[in-house]
């Protein structure tokens, strides 16, 4: 199947304050963000022409930049407005938004205090891949050989580009072995997350999720926890040992791209997506659509 390259498309990208033709949104090869990972980004979803929880994403982008030691040259309100402008200019009804901020090319070396901070926002069509019914089949995971780093060894509360290097390695290895994705442990050997989504499991009717102390506390994660509580489902944030997975009644992942995705297998151990998964899939789908309708 041929895939349209991301650098050769029609449309516009918001780049440092202005909409520019898609193919002209380029950076120099000696950009600091490319060499030293001084780059942060967001992943956002458009439903019925409206970005779900846009301001929360823009706030997190600004916070991630702050953690990496730089300040965005635009306010959260300006980022929100630029995002809406880009989505409208591209005519996106159901799609994905990628805001990104990085240090430029004025200085090349570990130190880069004088580098200009650039911001860009791109978006493209990305409808939901599966119906709620089709998603219930569940995806296959394998354990990653890579672990999420400790919070005193990496800026783990930022959505920083460099933190995703081991995610790419993990997902590539998983796909080459015939799995859909990889499950990552943290530096202590506890269950952390998948390569781009947070982890949940149902045990004794309660919803358990790892404490987000060394990985990103996802916006979708928090949303799904709220939805579960509205249903009267007890949510427990705690340390989860990998040996506990075999006793899970249901397992699923959450994220902007994943939404709510049930897991059907982890390295040969089978799981049957059930009532909790199905309920939260439907509740999440209803929420994002109703939020989009309210914003229209």
Task: Say which of 159, 171, 246, 282 is annotated catalytic.
Answer: 159
Identify whether 159 is a catalytic site residue.
yes
Neighbours of 25 (CB within 10 A): 18
CB-based contact 72:79 (threshold 8 Å): yes
E-assigned strand segments in the chain: 12-15, 18-21, 39-41, 44-47, 50-51, 95-103, 117-125, 139-148, 181-186, 191-194, 198-203, 206-210, 235-238, 250-255, 259-266, 269-270
Cα–Cα distance between 16 and 200 in angstroms, integer? Answer: 38
Q: What is the longest distance spanned by two Cα atoms in the chain? A: 56
Q: Show which residues are catalytic.
A: 159
């Amino acid at each position: 199947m041929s895939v349209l390259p991301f650098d050769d498309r029609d449309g516009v990208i918001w780049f440092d304050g202005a909409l520019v033709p898609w193919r002209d949104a380029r950076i120099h090869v000696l950009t600091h963000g490319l060499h030293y990972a001084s780059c942060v980004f967001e992943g956002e979803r458009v439903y019925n022409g409206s970005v779900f929880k846009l301001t929360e994403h823009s706030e997190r982008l600004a916070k991630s930049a702050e953690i990496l030691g730089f300040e965005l040259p635009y306010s959260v309100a300006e980022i929100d407005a630029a995002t809406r402008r880009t989505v409208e200019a591209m005519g996106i009804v159901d799609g994905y938004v990628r805001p990104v901020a990085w240090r430029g090319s004025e200085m090349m070396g570990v130190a880069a205090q004088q580098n200009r901070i650039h911001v860009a926002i791109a978006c493209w069509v990305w409808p939901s891949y599966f119906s709620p019914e089709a998603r219930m089949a569940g995806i296959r995971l394998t354990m990653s050989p890579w672990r999420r780093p400790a919070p005193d060894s990496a800026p783990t509360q930022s959505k920083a580009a460099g933190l995703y290097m081991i995610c790419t390695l993990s997902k590539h290895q998983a796909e080459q072995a015939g799995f859909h994705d990889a499950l990552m442990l943290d530096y202590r050997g506890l269950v952390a997350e998948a390569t781009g989504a947070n982890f949940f499991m149902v045990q004794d009717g309660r919803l358990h999720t790892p404490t987000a102390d060394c990985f990103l506390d996802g916006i979708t994660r928090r949303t799904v926890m709220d939805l579960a509580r509205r249903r009267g489902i007890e949510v427990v944030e705690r340390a989860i040992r990998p040996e506990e997975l075999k006793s899970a009644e249901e397992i699923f992942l959450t994220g902007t791209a994943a939404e709510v995705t049930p897991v059907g297998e982890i390295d040969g151990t089978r799981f049957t997506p059930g009532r909790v998964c199905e309920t939260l899939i439907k509740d999440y789908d209803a929420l994002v659509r109703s939020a989009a309708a309210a914003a229209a």
